Structure 1
Amino acid sequence: MRINIQFLQTGGVPLTNDLMDVLQEAYTIFNVLGDVAGHLTILSGCTPTGQSVSPGIVVINGDILYFEGGLVTASVYIHTAQITKTFQDQTDKILIEKKTVKFGLSAPGNMWNWSDFTRLETLKVMMEKINAAATQADLNDIKTRLDKVELKTAPIMNGGIAWFWRKPLSEIPAGWKPCTDFKGKTIFGLDPNDPVFSTLGTTVGSHSKTITQNNIPDYVIPFYGATNSGQTAVGNDLSVIKWNGKAPDGFYDHTYGINSGGKGMPMDVLNRGVIVDFIEPDFQ
């Protein structure tokens, strides 16, 4: 509704109740700006200087109100002043109800924290920020890329991975923790067809091995010896040793053993490598 009242006319403008009602109705239209701005917003003024705030215009519950400013306190309230006038019938009645916002305390429901008020930017500044903001196409592209990142990092997010860490444990980044499962171990792939590697999480192997008789290949080193003393006996001189068969007729055969000379010490089977730590996610 657009109202244009022609006050500047000759003959005397009739200030009737109808005219005053039209003026008040026209004024209430401006309160729509309060709904647009929102509850607890600063439309103008209210500039802080030291411990004080300058007067200005604020919105509380959709009403556009004058703010008196002054020395800052934690809360503000709406002060209502009722102005009485004498009517033509000589009776005094409340004609004007004037509301202003002040620093101070009041009853619950009529008091708000000053820190909750927000200063609105101008429409020009808002439009500049909107124009500089990402478009819907940009957001769609970001979402598509983010979806891919979530798919690729799913093993990390659910704690199903461990990474080797070459720096001191004191430098592990936030969101990660030491993984102690792999201390002194290497990693083998699960193989359900191999009994050694068929159970997930099982510790296998050793960095040393002791050779037993079961580990020695099955082989024979044959040799033969004989004495020419005419009989088999201990102490007779060994005169003939043959690797490919028994001694000639008339000689007596003897069996000899070779001592291994070993001491049964475990053998190192550790491959050459670098010592590192392992870390795992600690996001939860």
Structure 2
Amino acid sequence: MNKFDFNQIGGFPLSTNILDGMQTAYSLFNALGEIAGNFAIISGCNINGSTVSDGVVYINGEVLAFKGGLLGSNVIISEDPENRVFESGESKTVLRKRFATFGSSVTNYPWADFKRVFPTVQIQSFKDNFEARIAALENRPSPIPVGMIAIWNKPATTAIPTGWQECTDLRGRVPVGWDPNDNLDFGIVGKADGAKTHKLLVSEMPSHSHTERGPGNVGGHPGGSAGYDRPNGEQTNNTSTVGGNQAHNNLQPYRVIRFIEFIG
């Protein structure tokens, strides 16, 4: 920032150039508003019901006083010119008081875009607290135990998160809960069994019988049929064969996902 040395003897040459240099010097304060960011509420501008108090805001590189009033949806930048009479007798504008306020103009800034600045005096305590929490998270054991399996509902082309890998021994399978009271099927963790299809065995079919109607007489009696006669009087008939002798679908309704395992 420029520095002026006014405290001198001999009659300081106060001129318009000097005054312009002073304005240039204090205009550098506008750059501090960039710390807060555009459309920042630096101070004040407190909402109380339907009104907003006076304050200070930062808009497009300029720190401006904010004149409050009834809460509006848009903010504008306005100017109040002040005139002075020169030695020549002319009245000219010598000061333009720029400020922001609610209103409507060619250029409007939505009030919803204005955000309050985080107080700089709290930055250090916030930083210390944040760093302490990060250190605690990094130093404590992982909250996710190694070996935990999760459902990964993403396409196969999507990368698995860091610290995880696909649980390949669950490809094409569904998990079932371990049951220490069922050693036959579910008593051993990691046991794999079951089939997508199954062909019924005779022993698995329900017990049943077939009713057959044959000739009323056997063994040479009238009305008997030589094709069914047996010396001991028994009659045997063969029914026609049906069925495709194929395995049936053994799948429950399903949706394909991937299982992933945490490896740390």
Give the alignment's TM-score, normalised by structure 1.
0.51
Cα deviation, residue 51, structure 1: 1.6
Asked if 1:125 corresponds to 2:122, the answer is yes
Asked if 1:52 corresponds to 2:51, the answer is yes
- Find the counterpart in structure 2 of residue 17 from structure 1: 16
- Find the counterpart in structure 1 of residue 205 from structure 2: 209
2: CA distance, partners of 1:4 / 1:135: 46
Cα deviation, residue 33, structure 1: 1.0
- Find the counterpart in structure 2 of residue 157 from structure 1: 153
Cα deviation, residue 63, structure 1: 0.6
Answer yes or no: is the 8 Å Cα contact 2:152–2:257 preserved in 1: no
Cα–Cα, structure 1 residues 39 and 208, in superposed 2: closer, same or farther, change >3 Å?
A: same
Amino acid across the alignment from 1:25 = T
2: CA distance, partners of 1:24 / 1:155: 65
Structure 2, gaps ≥5 residues long: 156-170, 178-190, 209-231, 233-251, 259-264
Indicate the SS of the match to 1:32: helix
Which of the two has higher C-alpha Rg?
Answer: 1
* Equivalent runs, 1:215-254 vs 2, <5 Å: none
Cα deviation, residue 97, structure 1: 2.5
Asked if 1:77 corresponds to 2:80, the answer is no
- Find the counterpart in structure 2 of residue 252 from structure 1: none
Cα deviation, residue 12, structure 1: 6.0
2: CA distance, partners of 1:49 / 1:11: 55
Cα–Cα, structure 1 residues 202 and 4, in superposed 2: closer, same or farther, change >3 Å?
A: farther
Over the aligned positions, Cα root-mean-square deviation in angstroms equals: 4.5
Deviations 1:69-127 (A, max 9, x none): 111111111112333434444444433232111112122xx211212211112112122
Answer yes or no: is the 8 Å Cα contact 1:68–1:100 preserved in 2: yes
How many residue pairs end up in the alignment?
187
2: CA distance, partners of 1:204 / 1:59: 78
1: CA distance, partners of 2:134 / 2:73: 44
Indicate the SS of the match to 1:124: helix
Of stretches 152-161 and 92-101 in structure 1, the one that deviates more from structure 2 is 152-161
Amino acid across the alignment from 2:70 = L
2: CA distance, partners of 1:46 / 1:202: 72
Indicate the SS of the match to 2:123: helix
Answer yes or no: is the 8 Å Cα contact 1:52–1:69 preserved in 2: yes
Indicate the SS of the match to 1:3: coil
Indicate the SS of the match to 2:94: strand
Indicate the SS of the match to 2:197: coil
- Find the counterpart in structure 1 of residue 3 from structure 2: 3
Cα–Cα, structure 1 residues 154 and 25, in superposed 2: closer, same or farther, change >3 Å?
A: same
Identity %: 26
Answer yes or no: is the 8 Å Cα contact 2:84–2:94 preserved in 1: yes
Deviations 1:185-221 (A, max 9, x none): xx9637xxxxxx5xxx435658943579xxxxxxxxx
Answer yes or no: is the 8 Å Cα contact 1:83–1:97 preserved in 2: yes
Cα–Cα, structure 1 residues 73 and 156, in superposed 2: closer, same or farther, change >3 Å?
A: same
2: CA distance, partners of 1:87 / 1:204: 110
Indicate the SS of the match to 2:35: helix
2: CA distance, partners of 1:10 / 1:139: 64
Indicate the SS of the match to 1:125: helix
- Find the counterpart in structure 1 of residue 161 from structure 2: none
